[in-house]
Amino acid sequence: MEITLTDQNFSAELAKSPVPVLVDFWATWCPPCKMLSPIVEEIAEEYQGKLTVGTMDVDQNPHTATQFGIMSIPTLIVFKNGQPVKQMVGYQPKESLAKKIDEILQS
């Protein structure tokens, strides 16, 4: 299951997650974001209980995107204990994304 993140709920959602959080920063007009979206949905399903997955529309929530220096989308950031531990910019094949997530979960 994915959660929709906003400037208003971002900190609270990260704080209440007992597991790492993958945040997909995207926009409706971004073709690579649309290509990545189904992969992010699959990751959310497959890693349920081990990883929280959230999506954030950067056009609707510019404050958080600016706070984390999002210059290109899609950008995926994995947060652990509320802190960013891994940032990936651009389209990610599912295998590559899963490998990076597995490394974070094992560390």
Could you list the active site residues? 30, 33
Element holding 4 (H helix, E strand): strand 2-4
CA 82/CA 84 separation, integer angstroms: 7
Q: Exposed/middle/buried for 28, CB within 10 Å: 0-12, 13-18, 19+?
A: exposed
